Amino acid sequence: MNTIIYAHRGASKKAPENTMPAFEIAYELGADGIETDVQLTKDNIPVLIHDETLRRTTNGIGFVQDYTYDELKKFDAGSWHSATFRKTIIPTLDDLLAWNQMKQLKLNIELKNNLIEYPNIEKIVCEKIKEYNMDNNSVISTFNSKSLKKISKLKYSIPTAFLTSRRSRELVELGKELGVKGLHIRYRLLSKRLVERAIENNLYTAVYTVNQPFSIARVMRNNCYALFTDVPDLAISVRNRL
Ligand code: G3P
Ligand code: CA
């Protein structure tokens, strides 16, 4: 099985994470998909940024949820990475979905609602995916199990995945109970037995975030369905050599 390679936050080594240049470079490098993180602005616009606050990846301060999108787009989300990306803005989910109309990459849209429970983020994101006809190449993931239950009640046809970094004997059972299609696990949780048990229960396994040839190869050799990497070009070369 060919493990799907998702560029984690885009090609986030070569460009500022979760920006259009990072997505574009991931596409040029040949990644199969893009992984990204969604938060909501004050005016309920889904935007692509990993942290709840602006400090690490922009020249702004404070919480994403305290700004409207018009205010947020004035911040520079590129200079912290390098001067080449000066004035790169925080993209919206619409920007990514519109860009992907031509590219048709796989999309892993992670709801960043484990620290802040954005009201209605589930419906807002599902509606956007539907609007752009991306149901078939998208998956919604989150660490928030309550949120997964909410999505399952909304009855969209978009697959979901449970993200976890916690070791648990009941992970497969939990996945089934949450109605997800996949378990997105941290690398240290990877075992042959977990992958096999997941497959027996019609769940796929994807692993984050693997950036070294050894760990990438190990994920692939264990027949994981997908992996998340900051270095999609390296993962592609490992896959080609297996
Ligand atoms: O979706 C996999 C991975 O991105 C989850 O962790 O913190 O990088 O969003 P994080
Ligand atoms: Ca993520």
Architecture of domain 4-241: Alpha-Beta Barrel (3.20)
CA 149, CA 70: separation in Å to the nearest integer?
Answer: 32
Whole-structure pTM value: 0.97
What ranges do the domains of the chain cover? 4-241
- DSSP three-state, residue 92: strand
- Distance from the alpha carbon of residue 231 to the mean position of ligand 1, in angstroms: 14
pLDDT at residue 1, as a whole number: 77
- 50 catalytic? Reply is yes
Q: Which of the ligands is closest to the CA of residue 163?
A: 1
DSSP for 132-191, please give it.
TT-GGGEEEEES-HHHHHHHHHHT-S--EEEEE-S--TTHHHHHHHHT-SEEEEEGGG--
Can you name the residues that pair with 36 across neighbouring β-strands? 109
pLDDT at residue 220, as a whole number: 98
* ipTM value greater than 0.95: yes
Catalytic residue among 3, 5, 8, 9: 8
Ligand 1-lining residues (CB < 6 angstroms)? 8, 35, 37, 50, 110, 141, 163, 184, 208-209, 228
Q: For the segment 166-204, what is each residue's pLDDT rounded down to a tens digit? A: 999 899 999 999 999 999 999 999 999 999 999 999 999
Is a pLDDT exceeding 80 seen at residue 53?
yes
